[in-house]
């Protein structure tokens, strides 16, 4: 939940933003967005997950603006007439070469081999390009504040410089008392995707970020940023002997890629 909150707060920044999660799963991104006062739209093939998300929201965030679809999150048929109608997209696509069976659905990407999985993700990115608003971004410029922060690397100097930088930004007040003022960049509309990698013995590591970055570029997106999230799963200890035998390190990270349409 903390990771989703950070991504929405840092990259979207706007309460009331219309946000899509087309592989919503258990609803972590949706609930984070609702808590921040955003209008959230979620797709998932599993009806039990859709019902559970609705139950949680009804109990804890009854005022939230939530739209759920027990539909295919690649085809996005309920949104087929829309264009440039979403401020942001944030999602966790089904893992490539997933070892777990989540549904019996033939359209579930978790059950697909890599060639079919890639074609489905290509269709998803094509729909993202249709649905996401266009971003207008500035070229990098020199910030005198950076020089000040370099010459005086104390916490006090950093805090003062960042406060000055934030004060320069246009502001909007959150609709939720629990959320402070957010800086707004209306021209920035990200597609945010969290992902990982799989290890396939003799075929080596299959890294979703390389595959999805290629597909997104071919569909017209600009890769804008990349972050890494450190994981600390308790279950990793059961893999210690296997990882050592195969000369693997513990997989304690996941990648987040951020794209924009220019």
The predicted pLDDT at position 170 comes to 58
**From 3.40.50.150, 3.40.50.720, 3.20.190.10, 3.40.50.920, which CATH number describes the 2-136+187-260 domain?**
3.40.50.150
Q: What is the DSSP string of the chain?
A: -HHHHHHIIIII--TT-EEEETT-TT-HHHHHHHHTT-EEEEE-S-HHHHHHHHHHHHHH-TT--EEEE-S-TTT-GGGTT--S-BSEEEE-PPPTT-SS-----TT-GGGS-HHHHHHHHHHHHHHHHHHBPPP--PPP---HHHHHHHH--SHHHHHHHHHHHHHTS-EE--SSTTS--EE--TT---EEEEE-EEE-GGG-EEEHHHHHHHHHHHTTPEEEEEEEEE---GGGGGGHHHHHHTTPPP--EEEEEEEE--
Give 204-247 pLDDT, tens digit per residue: 888 999 999 999 999 999 999 999 988 877 777 788 888 899 88
Give 86-145 pLDDT, tens digit per residue: 999 999 998 887 666 666 777 888 788 889 999 999 999 999 999 999 999 877 666 666
Give 244-257 pLDDT, tens digit per residue: 998 888 888 899 99
Domain assignments of the chain as residue spans, ordered by start: 2-136+187-260, 144-183
């Amino acid at each position: 939940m903390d990771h989703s909150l950070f991504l929405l707060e840092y990259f979207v920044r706007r309460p009331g933003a219309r946000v899509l999660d087309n592989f919503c799963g258990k609803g972590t991104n949706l609930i984070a967005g609702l808590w921040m006062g955003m209008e959230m739209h979620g797709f998932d093939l599993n009806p039990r997950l859709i019902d559970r998300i609705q139950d949680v929201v009804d109990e804890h965030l009854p005022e939230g603006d939530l739209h759920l679809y027990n539909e295919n999150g690649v085809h996005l048929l309920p949104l087929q007439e829309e264009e440039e109608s979403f401020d942001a997209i944030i999602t966790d696509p089904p893992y490539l070469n997933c070892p777990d069976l989540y549904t019996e659905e033939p359209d579930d990407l978790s059950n697909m081999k890599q060639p079919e999985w890639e074609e489905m993700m290509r269709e998803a990115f094509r729909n993202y390009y249709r649905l996401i608003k266009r971003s207008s971004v500035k070229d990098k410029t020199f910030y005198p504040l950076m020089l000040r922060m370099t010459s005086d690397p104390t916490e006090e100097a950093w805090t003062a410089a960042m406060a000055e930088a934030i004060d320069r930004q246009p502001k909007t007040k959150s609709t939720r008392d629990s959320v402070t003022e957010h800086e707004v960049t209306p021209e920035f509309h990200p597609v945010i995707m969290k992902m990982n990698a799989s290890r396939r013995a003799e075929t080596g590591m299959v890294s979703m970020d390389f595959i999805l970055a290629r597909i997104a570029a071919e569909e017209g997106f600009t890769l804008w940023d990349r972050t890494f999230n450190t994981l600390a799963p308790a279950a990793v200890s059961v893999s210690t002997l296997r990882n050592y035998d195969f000369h693997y390190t513990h997989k304690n990270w996941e990648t987040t890629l951020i794209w924009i349409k220019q």
